[in-house]
Amino acid sequence: MRVAVAAAVALSVCFAARAPAVTLGQVDTFTSGTTQGWSAGAGGAPTPPQVVLGGGPGGAGDNYLQITAVGGTGPGSRLVAFNGTQWAGNYLTAGVTGIEMDLRNLGSMALTMRLFFEDPTNGPPMNEALTSFVVDLPVGSGWVHALFPIAPADLIAFYGDVHAVLSDTTQLRLYDSPDPNYPGPTVVGSVGVDNIGAVRAVPEPAAWAMLLAGLGLLGSRGLRRRG
């Protein structure tokens, strides 16, 4: 009986930990002075993500998160931060098709920022995907507002299935990689990030133009058939 109860409790804890957390409209602003769950891993990165008080895109009183890489071959050699709390969950059910944020290159090397989704379950990840869209940050970029489209069609399957990882993400990573790969290269660099928000992405003007052109074509065909 005790074994059965213990198993049931463990199972309930497991499912509770994997319950959907991400919600449409959530935003990480770092106004509390905490990293809001963003980390650089358990390997002991020499410079973990830290909150900088003031100097964000909103001005002197706007806090932001700084992510730093020190290069080399050990912990902290790559520019990456991850979150497995409020950015875990079912993106498909939540209706989140985009993640926006403000980014700034604080270092002396150009950066290319991507997002990476994975679903490790007490072992190696079963499904992983990364964004095809990237944000290029030249040296001295200043604050740049970016929107990463993350609908299934916008992601590249790194391992397993894109739909599966979006429906059960347990970890979201923000990292530097000019190539569609993971992990990214070792680099000595630093990036500022603020206002990380879960949104419903709107198609770019070019996509809208193509959609409207397609609808117009269908309409003209319908009129010809009636005539």
Q: For the chain, what are the domain ranges? A: 21-215
* Backbone angles phi and psi of 176, in degrees to 5: -100, 120
Residues 41-62 have pLDDT tens digits of: 655 567 899 999 999 999 999 9
CA 90 to chain centroid, in Å, comes to 13
Confidence of residue 25 (pLDDT cuts 50, 70, 90): very high
pLDDT above 70 covers a percentage of the chain that reads: 77
Q: Is the pLDDT of residue 206 over 70?
A: no
Q: Are 78 and 110 in contact (CB under 8 A)?
A: no
Mean pLDDT of 15-31: 79
Residues 124-138 have pLDDT tens digits of: 778 999 999 999 999
Q: Which H/E stretch holds residue 103?
A: strand 98-105
The CATH number that domain 21-215 falls under is 2.60.120.260
Residues 60-96 have pLDDT tens digits of: 999 999 999 999 988 899 999 999 999 999 999 999 9
Answer with the residue of higher pLDDT: 160 or 121. 160
Structure confidence at residue 11 (pLDDT): 37
Amino acid occupying residue 34 = T
Q: 12-24 burial, b if ≥16 CB within 10 A, otherwise e?
A: eeeeeebeebbee
Contacts of 221 (CB under 8 A, 6+ apart): none
Residues 157-166 have pLDDT tens digits of: 999 999 999 9
